[in-house]
Amino acid sequence: MAPTSAADRVTMIDQIRLAVIQNGLVGIAREMGTIMERASYSAILNEGKDFSCAIFNSDGELVAEGEFVLVHLAAMHEAVQVLIRHFGDRWNPGDIAVHNDPYEGGSHLPDINLVRPVFSEGEVIGYVATRAHYPDVGGTVPGSFSGEARSLFHEGVVIPPLLLAREDALDEQLISLWARNVRVARRLRADLLAQVASVRVGERSFLELCDRLGRTAVMEVLEEIPEYGEAVMRGRIAARLQGESEFFDFMDDAGPDSLPVRLHLRVGVKGDGLEFDYSGSDPQVPCPINAPPAVVKSATYGAVKCLLVPELPLNSGMFRPLEVLTRKGTVTHPIAPAPVAAGNTNTSQRLLDMCLATLGEMMKDEEAGGMAGSYSANSDIGVGGHDVRTGEEFVLYMMPVGGIGARPQLDGESALINYMGNCSSQPVEVWESMYPLRVTEYRLRPESAGAGRRRGGLGLCVGYEALEGGIQISVFTERQRFAPFGLRGGQPSAMGEYWITRGDERTSIPTKTSGLWLDAHDRVEVATAGGGGHGDPFLREPELVAHDVLEGFVTPETAAREYKVVLSKAGEVDASATARLRSTPNDPRPILWLAVSEVGGDDNDETRLGSEAAAILGIKSGQVLYCFSDYCSVYSQATVEPGAHVAISPLMARALRLEVGQEFGVRPLPTDWASVSTDALRRRFSAGRSRQGG
């Protein structure tokens, strides 16, 4: 009888042959990436490495990829499937398809997909593909990243499935039409030719591998790789996960004059598979934080793969045990033409954080656990204008790095691109040499890491000065209202902060502010969020706290307040004073410990408490509260009433695993639930005032 399960089918696979050919395919994907890095023109590609290269079998199943952008790779699988359905049997040797539609397997409009069929003996035996983030694809602002976009059409040129090349002849009319609708046409053409070269080299190397190892053997392994990936993933799920978990977090807002947007996730083990249910998330919004299904799947698949199967190359077989549920019309399943640019960069990382938090609570090994919240790509900054030095338009897409959340046994990484991006930091020397900017600051941000037994990573401080007027800047940020969360008693990090200084006046930039105009010598300052902490900070080894003080990451005052560690004037641990401080029940942090009196009502975002308790820390109605238990942490909105008992919603009780009578911690943040207006800021930095020099 033929084997029916994935595990049974895997027993028939020649593991040595599989490893040799699969690693050969991975090598081809890496070679394609080298072409992209060496031949591309824009800094976001040749320095930031915001591209991915992958190989697919004849059914469009992902079989090999390099160490590229995580949010691309699962979404590329969706995109290739779309192109296969669209072109069917109409492919010819030398064809290259292009598309970027987020509602057809794409991620966001700046990510351009090129897919080339690989022909052998007159039939398609596989596909090679690249996805690259272009610095500009049109739209309302330079960088094609407007926080105030109300439609996909505000974000740039939408490219349906088309043939860019037929039998290796590029369609120059298509390229000319495309280039005429972006701000940096010459750079687009140069980057596009690099991408074309990448898929051509990928096809050549694919066929060379077939010649070297045998066409039949390679084609058989192309079918075996997803089978093996599925079997491994099902085995890891059954061995390491149990039960179910629930979590929710918030995007700061949906642009000016709007309120926070809730993301909700429920995860459960289903046999040897997992079900991820995002259907409780808020309705879609007229703001680019909407995440199309391919992006939601990328975040989900990426989290599971990183946590359970970190050692193997990603392939689409690993996706098969994972069911992703969404509800149409929500922020995790928008209906076209809702804008989606930041769903790919910001919302995706927030979803990854949520997945890692929930899966961590489901691990059978209690020492494993999840990862605390990260800065979540909280800084997408587009800068553009006319460079008087070159006489050309320029666009710079910045990705300032931030702090990564802590894990059970490791501190979070500092000043790193988030995991969904997995890109490189662009050197400031490149910014200064290619664009009319002078970098004034680039350093780690002290006091930004979330406290914990394992602390979060530190954010970054970046400053730059405009060397000429007429430069337009758009800032799409997150984590200015809700800080990256901690886990298991870990504390939140510092939130992101952004300013423009003109003369002696320093003005704060709210989230999702687009189209501000800079004068010469205006200065922009960026302070990105850190990562959340993991575990009780009072259990952190005093020597590690002393080291953080020595490095300038925290002050001695913070060490005493957040970690209960006392240092001498020489910076050494005062062991006896530390022991005395840690033995006292007093909590020196601005935290209120409350016992749940009532769980009821609908699944709202409020925590009700009495005015007497609220007065201890000066908590006001509408203030953002960081609420945490021994398991998890969530955000809620304070509702202060005289004589009120402590009441939380059923949703919050489930997420924190609380019942009536149990205690949880509340830490007020210096932010509130109210909407933010950008009218005054826009008047201050309007195009007219910029031309007038004031």
- Residue 394 dihedral angles phi and psi, to the nearest 5°: -135, 155
pLDDT of residue 692: 45
409 in any annotated domain: yes
- Residue 326 dihedral angles phi and psi, to the nearest 5°: -135, 170
**Reading across the β-sheet that carries 513-518, which strands appear in turn?**
392-398, 379-387, 471-477, 513-518
pLDDT in tens, 384-423: 999 999 999 999 988 878 999 999 999 999 999 888 888 8
CB 432 within 8 A of CB 454: no
88 phi-psi bin (left φ>0, alpha ψ -120 to 50, beta other): left
Q: In terms of domains, do 40 and 158 share one? A: yes
CB 483 within 8 A of CB 495: yes
Q: What is the mean pLDDT of residues 676-683?
A: 86
State what percent of residues in the chain have pLDDT above 70.
97
469 pLDDT higher than 60: yes
pLDDT of residue 11: 74
Q: What is the distance between the alpha carbons of residues 357 and 377, in angstroms, rounded to a whole number?
A: 17
Q: In terms of domains, do 488 and 435 share one? A: yes
291 in any annotated domain: no
C-alpha radius of gyration, the chain, whole number: 26
Q: Which domain holds residue 568?
A: 542-583
Coil, strand or helix at 170: strand
612 in any annotated domain: yes
CA 375-379-385 angle, to 5 degrees, is: 170
Contacts of 692 (CB under 8 A, 6+ apart): none
Coil, strand or helix at 577: helix
CA dihedral of 168, 125, 210, 40, whole degrees rounded to 10: 40
> What is the residue-wise DSSP string for 456-502?
PPP-EEEEEEESSS-EEEEEEE-SSSSPPP-BTT----PPPEEEEEE
Q: In terms of domains, do 444 and 578 share one? A: no
Return the beta strands (E) in 543-686 as ranges. 592-595, 598-599, 606-610, 623-628, 633-641, 647-648, 663-672
240 in any annotated domain: no
Confidence of residue 690 (pLDDT cuts 50, 70, 90): very low
Q: In terms of domains, do 573 and 617 share one? A: no
- Residue 315 dihedral angles phi and psi, to the nearest 5°: -150, 160
Mean of the per-residue pLDDT values of the chain: 93
254 in any annotated domain: no
Confidence of residue 378 (pLDDT cuts 50, 70, 90): low
Nearest to 298 by CA among 54, 49, 73: 73
State what percent of residues in the chain have pLDDT above 90.
85
pLDDT of residue 6: 61
C-alpha to C-alpha distances, 54 to 296, 307, 345, 482, nearest whole angstrom:
19, 21, 20, 35
Q: What is the distance between the alpha carbons of residues 453 and 320, in angstroms, rounded to a whole number?
A: 36
Q: Which two tokens stand for residue 510?
A: 């709210």
Q: What is the mean pLDDT of residues 343-350?
A: 93
Q: Which of 583, 616, 646 is the last residue of a domain?
A: 583
Q: In terms of domains, do 65 and 188 share one? A: yes
pLDDT in tens, 266-315: 999 999 999 999 999 999 999 999 999 999 999 999 999 999 999 998 99
Q: In terms of domains, do 84 and 159 share one? A: yes
pLDDT in tens, 520-547: 999 999 999 999 999 999 999 999 999 9
Q: In terms of domains, do 599 and 532 share one? A: no
379 in any annotated domain: yes
Please give the tally of structural domains in the chain: 4
Q: What is the distance between the alpha carbons of residues 533 and 78, in angstroms, rounded to a whole number?
A: 35
377 pLDDT higher than 70: no
What is the pTM assigned to this prediction?
0.95
pLDDT in tens, 148-202: 899 999 999 999 999 999 999 999 999 999 999 999 999 999 999 999 999 999 9
Confidence of residue 693 (pLDDT cuts 50, 70, 90): very low
Q: In terms of domains, do 16 and 159 share one? A: yes
Contacts of 20 (CB under 8 A, 6+ apart): 213
Q: What is the distance between the alpha carbons of residues 52 and 111, in angstroms, rounded to a whole number?
A: 10
Q: What is the distance between the alpha carbons of residues 344 and 349, in angstroms, rounded to a whole number?
A: 8
Q: In terms of domains, do 632 and 576 share one? A: no
Residue written as token pair 């039409």:
177
Alpha helices (runs of H) in 572-686, residue ranges in sequence order: 575-583, 611-617, 650-656, 679-684
268 in any annotated domain: no
pLDDT in tens, 19-63: 999 999 999 999 999 999 999 999 999 999 999 999 999 999 999
Q: In terms of domains, do 519 and 435 share one? A: yes
Q: Which of 540, 572, 600 is the last residue of a domain?
A: 540
Q: What is the mean pLDDT of residues 74-92?
A: 91
pLDDT of residue 7: 63
Strands 633-641 and 606-610: parallel
Q: In terms of domains, do 507 and 562 share one? A: no
C-alpha to C-alpha distances, 78 to 62, 140, 634, nearest whole angstrom:
10, 28, 32
Q: What is the distance between the alpha carbons of residues 412 and 106, in angstroms, rounded to a whole number?
A: 30
CB 598 within 8 A of CB 607: no
211 in any annotated domain: yes
Q: Which of 214, 230, 246 is the last residue of a domain?
A: 230
What element of type H or E holds 296?
A: helix 293-308
- Residue 603 dihedral angles phi and psi, to the nearest 5°: -80, 65
pLDDT of residue 99: 96
3-state secondary structure 406-460: CECCECCCCCECCCCCCCCCCCHHHHHHHCCEEEEEEEECCCCCCCCCECCCCCE
Q: In terms of domains, do 83 and 167 share one? A: yes
CA torsion through residues 229, 232, 238, 240, sign: negative
Q: Which two tokens stand for residue 551?
A: 């490095």
Q: Is the peptide bond before 334 cis (omega within 30 degrees of 0)?
A: no
- Residue 165 dihedral angles phi and psi, to the nearest 5°: -135, 135
